[in-house]
Structure formats: structure tokens, C-alpha cells
Structure 1
Amino acid sequence: MKEQLLKAMQRNQLVDLMYMSKSGGITKRRVKVIKMIGESFQAYCFMKNDKRTFIIDSVLAVVPVTIREREVI
């Protein structure tokens, strides 16, 4: 996982994560990785519209976002 997250950060690419919280709940998050910090990483979470810190071992899956969704105005 760490290598995939590092590549996404270097490429400035969005990724979809399957993430397990400390309480055991699983969520899907679309994030932009900002920096790696040891066994965690900081990312902008589009679900929460805020910067969050994630634990790498709690990431279940990482999928790069290749098609950006566009909003119709």
C-alpha cells in the first residue's frame, strides 16, 4: 500500500481508498495524498472536505482515479 500511496503523491493523482476506522467501520474515501509521515499519511479527504491523517495499515485497497467526474452547472 505504501508504494501505491507514494506514487499517487508523486504524480499528484487522486485515489479511492477503502479504509477501516479504529472502531472497525469501513468507508470509501476519495483523497489526494499530501505527505507521508512514517506509518501514516496526510491527505485531503473529499468526503469530509478537510485534511485528514490516515494509518497506512488501515487502508484495505487503493485505486487510482483515472476519470474525473465533472459537475454540470
Structure 2
Amino acid sequence: MKNMIIRSIQKKEKIEMIYLSNDNQVSQRVIRVLKINDEMIMAYCYTKRTIRTFKLENILSVGSVRKRMGA
């Protein structure tokens, strides 16, 4: 997981993240990671259209952004 987050910083790639908020709400976000430290990441959140911080311990999963297939 951490490798994908670091790659997002290095290559300026978007990733999908499943996140558990402090009030136990699960959300799926598309982000581009800007900074990382031992406890948190700072990322541009395309879902909320702003820069947000996320606790590493609350990230449930990360993955490549899946391409949507049109009709």
C-alpha cells in the first residue's frame, strides 16, 4: 500500500482509496498524493475538489484508478 502511495507522489498519478473517517463512515475517493509522513498523507481529493489530509491508519485500501467503459 505504501509503495502505491509513494508512486502516486513520484509519478503524479491518481489513485483510488477506500477510507474510514473518524466517525466510522466509509468512503471511496480518487486522490493524488502530495506529501506523506509516518502518520498522514496530504492529497488532492478529486471527489471533494480540495486538498485534504488522511490518516494512514484509516486507509483501508488503495489501488489504480479503473478506467470507466462507456456505451
TM-score by length of 1: 0.83
In structure 1, the partner of 2:60 is 60
SS of equivalent to 2:24: coil
Compute the displacement of 1:3 (Å): 2.1
Q: Structure 1 residues 4, 57: closer, same or farther in 2, change over 3 A?
A: same
Determine the C-alpha separation between the residues in 1 that align with 2:57 and 2:43: 15
Task: Report matched runs for 1:1-73 at 5 Å.
Answer: 1-65=1-65, 67=67
SS of equivalent to 1:3: helix
The amino acid of 1:13's aligned partner reads E
Contact 1:8-1:64 at 8 Å conserved across structures: no
SS of equivalent to 2:9: helix
Determine the C-alpha separation between the residues in 1 that align with 2:68 and 2:38: 30
Compute the displacement of 1:33 (Å): 0.5
Determine the C-alpha separation between the residues in 2 that align with 1:22 and 1:7: 26
The amino acid of 2:25's aligned partner reads G
Q: Structure 1 residues 8, 23: closer, same or farther in 2, change over 3 A?
A: same
Determine the C-alpha separation between the residues in 1 that align with 2:61 and 2:8: 13
